[in-house]
């Protein structure tokens, strides 16, 4: 039978071995190359527009992050072929100190703006009305900030 001390040590050892959130996030060496490989799986010929990728520190940690916009890809001669009825896929990658990037989110958007508020960047994302729980024809504006590897929604209107 284990003593109480030995049991605590065994449980602590197990807790330190197991990741807290289940699985560790995969680190991608080059987010742009990864995105282009994903596009190549869908398009025989791809032409990337100027707004395909933005490299900016959007989570305010001093490391470069990446946002890709698949709406800026001309796929097999068709602009917007990778978009759907509710916008174009935007993928968000956070740079990590170890080098590389971690994919944190995908959102179908009609666009976004990064704005500085109280010294930090926040997203104003233009999405379909259903994203705000509505069924009208107006766009929904979702204001979010990114802390670490997580989006925090500030408001929806």
Over the stretch 109-119, which tens digit does the pLDDT of each residue have?
Answer: 999 999 999 88
The predicted pLDDT at position 3 comes to 40
- Residue 25 is predicted with a pLDDT of 80
Query: Can you read off the two tokens belonging to residue 9?
Result: 């040590």
Domain boundaries, the chain: 25-156
Task: State residue 128's pLDDT score.
Answer: 93
Residue with tokens 């408001």: 155
Ranges in the chain, pLDDT < 50: 1-22
pLDDT at site 70: 98
Buried (b) or exposed (e) across 14-46, using 16+ Cβ within 10 A? eeeeeeeeeeeeeebeebbebbbeebeeebeeb
For residue 69, what are the CA distances in angstroms to 8, 84, 87, 133, 138? 49, 13, 10, 24, 22
pLDDT in tens, 23-45: 568 999 999 999 999 999 999 99
Check if the beta carbon of residue 44 is closer than 8 Å to that of residue 76: yes
The pLDDT of residue 36 is 98
């Amino acid at each position: 039978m284990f003593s109480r001390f030995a049991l605590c040590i065994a449980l602590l050892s197990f807790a330190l071995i197991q990741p807290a959130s289940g699985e560790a996030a995969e680190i991608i060496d080059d987010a742009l190359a990864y995105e282009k490989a994903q596009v190549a799986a869908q398009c025989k010929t791809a032409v990337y527009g100027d707004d395909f990728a933005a490299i900016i520190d959007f989570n305010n940690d001093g490391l470069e992050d990446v946002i890709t916009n698949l709406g800026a890809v001309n796929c097999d001669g068709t602009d917007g072929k990778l978009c759907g009825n509710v916008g174009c896929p935007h993928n968000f990658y956070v740079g990590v100190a170890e080098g590389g990037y971690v994919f944190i989110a995908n959102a179908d958007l009609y666009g976004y703006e990064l704005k500085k508020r109280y010294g930090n960047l926040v997203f104003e994302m233009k999405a379909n009305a259903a994203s705000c729980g509505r069924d009208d024809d107006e766009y929904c504006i979702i204001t979010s900030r990114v802390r670490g590897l997580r989006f925090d929604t500030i408001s929806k209107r």
